[in-house]
Amino acid sequence: MNPIITVFSKGIEKSGIKPSKVSVPSDIPFGSEVVNHLGVDFFHTIRGRAIPFGTGLKLGNPALKVVPFVGDLMTLGGNHFVHAGRRNMELLVICVNNFVYRKIGGQPAPSTPVTFSPYSTFEEPFNIPHLGNSCGAVYTARWTALHTDELANSIAEALNKQGLSVIEVLSPGPNYYTKIEDIESNLINFYYENSVIKNGEDPKNARITPEEKIVVGKFTDKERPTFIDSYNAQLSKVLGDKFTPYGGKNG
């Protein structure tokens, strides 16, 4: 069983939300045998399109708790994420980050097979919690795949938030072509051991660099009107009794 899906199942249980009320669009190709036991509606979308797919699900049935799983958030799907945050669309975005550093905190990572990029990467990665917070997300967090209790608690909290939440899950694999199920234990242990929990840290201070330990934790937890709430408020103001509120928090 994939450890992230296992923790997600625990998070749903902790949230008190029935699985039948949860819908998951994913651009990560989890096998059917991995997700069948969840008891949720699970959709495989094309790469980078889980968030707009999830937006359609939420607008079609506001009573759903929609959880896009994304693995390509800041390339093909970055613009969708930005606008979901701006609108405060009620989604829980779980970004599975497979980014691989050879070093963290000055220590060399366990050896991994050579990939097609012999010079690794010189580009600085996005600070996903900071980007989410800047775009308007009401809840941001980051954990490694081995912070199982903390991750399950964050998922439970975010499922009960009204608005856009984003949880980054660090789950590095040994190379670019590794299946999501094939997580190398010594590598993920390295990331877990070289992380530091800083709950409440300003997410702008949570960027990932090879020179420092990875900052994990729950960073922001706030309130603001959701897209549907803002829509209802504006059209009620303009149209008065002629307007029938759409969906709302309770569907």
Per-residue pLDDT tens over the stretch 207-228: 988 778 999 999 999 999 999 9
Residue 116's pLDDT is what? 41
Maximum average pLDDT range among 5-14, 32-41, 63-72, 74-83: 5-14
Residue 177 has what pLDDT? Answer: 41
Share the mean pLDDT of the chain: 85
- Confidence grade of residue 28 (pLDDT, cut at 50, 70, 90): confident
Instruction: Compute φ and ψ for 93, nearest 5 degrees.
Output: -90, 120
The answer for residues whose C-beta is within 8 angstroms of residue 71's C-beta and 6 or more apart is 27, 28, 95, 96, 98, 180
Domains of the chain by residue range: 3-225
Average pLDDT over residues 126-149: 95
Q: For domain 3-225, give the CATH number.
A: 3.40.50.970
Mean of the pLDDT values across residues 86-115?
A: 70
Lowest mean pLDDT among 30-34, 36-40, 54-58, 230-234: 30-34
